[in-house]
Amino acid sequence: MKWLDLPFSKEARGNVKLPGSKSISNRILLLAALSEGTTHIQDLLASDDTARMLEALTKLGITISQSSEHDYCVTGASGKFPVAEADLFLGNAGTAFRPLVAVLSLMQGHYRLSGVPRMHERPIANLVDALRQIGANITYLGNPGYPPLEIGPADMQNRDESLTVNVKGNVSSQFLTGLLMALPLTGKQSIIHVSGNLISKPYIELTLAQMRRFRVEVEQRDWQQFIIPPQQAYRSPGQISVEGDASSASYFLAAGAIGHGPVRVHGVGRDSVQGDTRFAAALEMMGAKISMGDHWIEASSTAANGKKPLHAIELDCNHIPDAAMTLAVTALFAEGTTVLYNIASWRLKETDRLAAMATELRKLGAQVEEGADYLRITPPAHGLTPDIAIDTYDDHRMAMCFSLVSLGTPVRINDPGCVAKTFPDYFELFSQLVHSPKI
């Protein structure tokens, strides 16, 4: 489908069961593959990104069986993949590409990793440089600093019993995640020093939480140093469930806040390990009514008819980098000028999200100031420009964010199929929540 026309919807209300978290799904798949024992995974996300990880692990010799659409059984390889030579295509899945680079660099095999053209534009030099400090043999096959990559056997001879690695923290948290997941495979004490301000700390918390589920502990010191004790090995927890995707929850919660609601999402709540659940607090700052249980969150608005339901905020979004995109579109429905900052990492995602977001918001009549790491958004004084075609840049989050525009005016979403990366049935579920005005 080249485009999808969304009619004006006056209200949003109902319940949504969230798909499994992409970030948790791919971490669990890789850890299960590296573990001793068999792991039964429930509620795994079905998406392009998880499909790329499943394909890669299968090529690497991991036995994976599927009992239903979202339930899998992974037989671990006790820290060493059975296949020592493979070509892996990982699409645009950063949650698969970066950790696999780190893990495969310690496998003493020969591997080639590639992706779609956009993946080959996403920098990986900081991770490669960190891995080379401990003897990794990684070659750039295209532009230096970017995929595709070739990985050969690492030179781990004559290394100290303790490994020390330095990595920059201000480019992508996935680099640190890759190192954290890979270094226990060496069996040595490993110390990771992070230079600069570590972005997306909740994603590192998420990584550490999943590692604990597979019996590996890491000592964290002020987000600048991570110590992995020696002689640890991943061991299967037996059965494990993937909680709902908190980033995906943001679109429905925002719909509830804009379209009066209530909208309740099931699968994440106050017990969630995902940082993007803090999006609900940002909505509350904007004036939404938020309630929360152990495994659900609900958003609504009590604004009187004719009044904008929300008000503008200024927010450091380092802790919710993906969900902050939803705030940028939500700002169209808020009174005043919203400022979202500390979002420079947007430029290194599926597209340059800062530039893309600014361009598409302006189409709708908003005044937008785009900085190196911030957006300043003022909604149009006389309503959103109707019937605009939103370009999505092959970026699933652009498509899902801008669906919210339909709560103010009819809108066309170009290339809606890009949501398959993380949420293939998003528009179907969204259409079940929104309600057009009666004629």
Q: Which residues pair with 221 in a beta bridge?
A: 225
Half-sphere exposure of 215 (CA within 13 A, CB side): 16
Q: Quote the tokens at residue 431.
A: 């259409």
Q: Is 417 exposed, middle or buried (0-12, 13-18, 19+ CB in 10 A)?
A: middle
Whole-angstrom Cα distance, residue 399 to residue 360? 11
Catalytic residue among 43, 49, 276, 322: 322
Please provide residue 437's backbone torsions phi and psi, each rounded to the nearest 5 degrees.
-65, 145
Phi, psi of 28 (to 5 degrees): -65, -40
Does residue 148 have a cis peptide bond before it, meaning omega lies within 30 degrees of 0? yes
DSSP annotation string for 23-43: HHHHHHHHHHHHSBSEEEEES
CA dist list (Å): 26 to 45, 148, 400, 422: 9, 20, 21, 11
DSSP 193: E
Is 5 among the residues known to form the active site?
no
Residues annotated as catalytic are: 322
